[in-house]
Structure 1
């Protein structure tokens, strides 16, 4: 009888080890193989699956409310001047309105405001004197290259696709957690000649290293449009007060 009890407990211990300890060891091994430190700003992420998104994206299972705001802008679609639909274009620009933000934008899967401690350690350009509650990722420039070597520059304006904590991929050498590693705007898609689910290479670049191109031209025009719209809004408010 005592032998049966001992065998029972030995079997139970083996089951616990197999079900809980062994999976944890496997997970630990995976972590050890992952990058432990951020890489320099100009590190290339190669052969990354890219998908297309846009300001005002239709409702889907991944964006049940549509993309009317970004992780860092509550009024993204309003601040852009309207929807950036890929179906209504005027060349590289939206065909329904004058864009008041740069139409060359991307989303990457990390949110520094949601993970401030990780951001402090992993963002290569992290600035401790930055205003509290203001993203240090928003607006940072990204260089993107298609498989034929054509290059475009865009600004990081939202978080995704799918996750917001993939810092080992965004700032390190790991592969992305999700099936797609970068979301690109319709302007980026058109400029690079992408078709739905292509693979690209990308890296972070400093603003001073961004060359002249439509991404600068349209950004300057967007700033001008934004100033004009703001002035018109202020004049409208002053007329109402009178």
Structure 2
């Protein structure tokens, strides 16, 4: 018995050492991602400036050249978005969030204002029922979660119908539940498992970096919550986010 206990103690010590090592490696990787995303900003901004300068200096009339310039500018824009998303991921992994009681309605109104042009162009209709008004959460993180879900709902709207987004909050089983439901394109059953994976795009016909929902899940999980999704292809998706009450 003594020998077994000693062996168990040794195994536990090795496990603790391995966990500490993994935490250190994970921290180093997060710091690298955060630093690299910032270091890449300067060169991509230089490329963007040079493209703009070149475009202004040249009298471009050739349709093929104009098309190439458009593709280059689009590539730069996409790369900037990816860098920005990487910086957000690195920040979430390493930061100690400043949590306060935040109001869902206030955050929603701020997002509507920020997306006013997209909402107007898409003719998006909102249905809201904020039965639970507040949650203890970092404001910028709550805004990021709601913004990602609402932006996705508009982006992946079905072309043959007006986008409708239903947002509601309630207290359920001792947790605060935020539900965001849309009537958009939905996601196929074989793609549903990829929804929260980094750089995975479940619909190749719509532009994106494939990191928004990964980022959303990271934020929610880091705060002790969880996120679920249910989709019907061609009918829309329902996202449920559970926050600690």
TM range (shorter): under 0.3
Looking at secondary structure, tell me which structure has more helix per residue.
2
User: TM-score, structure 2 length as denominator?
Assistant: 0.27
